[in-house]
């Protein structure tokens, strides 16, 4: 039965609607399909995460829906504007924080932020107020009168983020925004992102920090080889893997035999080798560990380490693709 929250979510206005979006690059060795026929939607006020290893197509997807890269095929409606027919309207309605730096070495931080906001139509007073607010929020107090070349890498990254937010867009793309940030700065950024969501801002982000994506995102789109291989809320995705995941550190030469032994003594729901480990999914990890270790020991196999845990987002990716998300970092 549908809950009130489910019905309300389904009827919220779409901020993004993508159909058949694709991008092929021409290389010396031939065409490369970077993104292959994506279909997805993002509703207003959602935080949606794109998860996948490097090369999965996340950044290419963001660049296409930000009008920075023309799709080879497909269509999209972004912030109530057509991606192909009205790219200027799309750009006017979004904020974009790219992986690469967006700062000017020789300009003062405050001047860059105010100029960015003015270019999007804010008055000088509004632009200054927004810039000063972000400097405080992103722990850049006292940095406004400095030139960007005088800042540390983490400080410059926070200025990049401020440049994408200073004009107060209702739709924001964040491509690996916390790269180069220390844990406290990451936590402060995500707290700001939550505040933006509470104010109705729609956010699409990519990140390699799975625990943060789990806690922050309303929905997740798992990407691999240019396509979406799974989607849902973090809980929905993890519920696809019932039971516990046992991970064993076993020498490569013994890994296949270890899986055969485990399969003979346990009722395995899945079995995979990835990330240098053997991963086994069972109904109850606590009941499986003793007979598993006993059987392995009888064949002279002693794991270097063993862990038992509930499924994580990385386990979801492992299950749907056969490899760990962390392998692609």
Sheet containing 73-78: give its strands across: 30-43, 14-27, 73-78, 81-82
d(CA 206, CA 15): 17
Non-local (6+) Cβ contacts of 11 within 8 A are: none
- The pLDDT score that the predictor gives to residue 303 is 95
Residue 33: C-alpha distances to residues 67, 191, 208 (Å): 18, 36, 22
Q: In tens digits, what is the pLDDT along the chain, a chain of 329 residues?
A: 444 444 445 546 999 999 999 999 999 999 999 999 999 999 999 999 999 888 899 999 999 999 999 999 999 999 999 999 999 999 999 999 998 888 899 999 999 999 999 999 999 999 999 999 999 999 899 999 999 999 998 899 999 999 999 999 999 999 999 888 888 888 888 999 999 999 999 999 998 888 889 989 999 999 999 999 999 999 999 888 878 999 999 999 999 999 999 999 999 988 888 878 999 999 888 899 999 999 999 999 999 999 998 888 888 888 887 777 665 54
Decide: helix, strand or coil at residue 12.
Answer: coil
Q: What residues are paired with 32 via a beta bridge?
A: 25
- The pLDDT score that the predictor gives to residue 5 is 45
Element at 196 (helix H, strand E)? helix 183-198
Residue 178: C-alpha distances to residues 57, 69, 184, 193, 259 (Å): 19, 23, 11, 12, 37
Q: Which of 152, 153, 148, 154 is nearest to 113 (CA)?
A: 148
d(CA 148, CA 82): 35
Domains of the chain: 4-238 (3.40.50.300), 242-310 (3.30.70.980)
Answer for the pair 306, 289: CB distance below 8 angstroms, yes or no.
yes
- The pLDDT score that the predictor gives to residue 209 is 82
Q: Which of 85, 32, 35 is nearest to 57 (CA)?
A: 35
Transcribe 90-114 into DSSP letters: HHHHEEEE-SS----TTSBHHHHHH
């Amino acid at each position: 039965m549908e809950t009130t929250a489910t019905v309300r979510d389904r009827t919220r206005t779409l901020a993004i609607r993508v159909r058949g979006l694709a991008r092929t690059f021409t290389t010396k060795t031939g065409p490369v399909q970077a993104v292959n026929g994506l279909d997805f939607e993002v509703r207003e006020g959602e935080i949606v995460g794109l998860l996948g290893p490097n090369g999965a197509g996340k950044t290419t997807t963001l660049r296409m829906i930000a009008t920075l890269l023309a799709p080879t095929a497909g269509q999209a409606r972004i912030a109530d504007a057509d991606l192909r027919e009205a790219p200027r309207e799309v750009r006017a309605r979004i904020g974009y924080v790219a992986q690469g730096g967006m700062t000017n070495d020789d300009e003062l931080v405050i001047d860059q932020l105010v100029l960015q906001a003015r270019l999007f139509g804010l008055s000088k007073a509004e632009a200054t107020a927004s810039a000063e607010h972000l400097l405080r929020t992103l722990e850049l107090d006292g940095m406004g009168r400095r030139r960007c070349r005088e800042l540390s890498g983490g400080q410059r990254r926070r200025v990049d983020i401020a440049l994408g937010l200073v004009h107060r867009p209702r739709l924001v793309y964040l491509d690996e925004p916390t790269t180069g940030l220390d844990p406290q700065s990451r936590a402060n950024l995500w707290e700001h992102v939550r505040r933006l969501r509470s104010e109705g801002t729609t956010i699409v982000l990519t990140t390699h920090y799975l625990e943060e994506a789990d806690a922050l995102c309303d929905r997740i789109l798992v990407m691999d080889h240019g396509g979406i291989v799974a989607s849902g809320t973090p809980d929905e995705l993890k519920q696809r893997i019932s039971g516990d995941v046992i991970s064993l550190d076993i020498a490569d030469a013994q890994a296949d035999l270890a899986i055969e032994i485990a399969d003979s003594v346990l009722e395995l729901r899945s079995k995979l080798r990835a990330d240098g480990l053997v991963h086994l999914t069972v109904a109850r990890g606590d009941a499986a560990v003793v007979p598993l270790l006993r059987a392995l020991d009888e064949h002279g196999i002693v794991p270097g380490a063993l862990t038992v845990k509930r499924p994580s987002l990385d386990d979801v990716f492992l299950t749907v693709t056969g490899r760990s998300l962390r392998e692609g970092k």
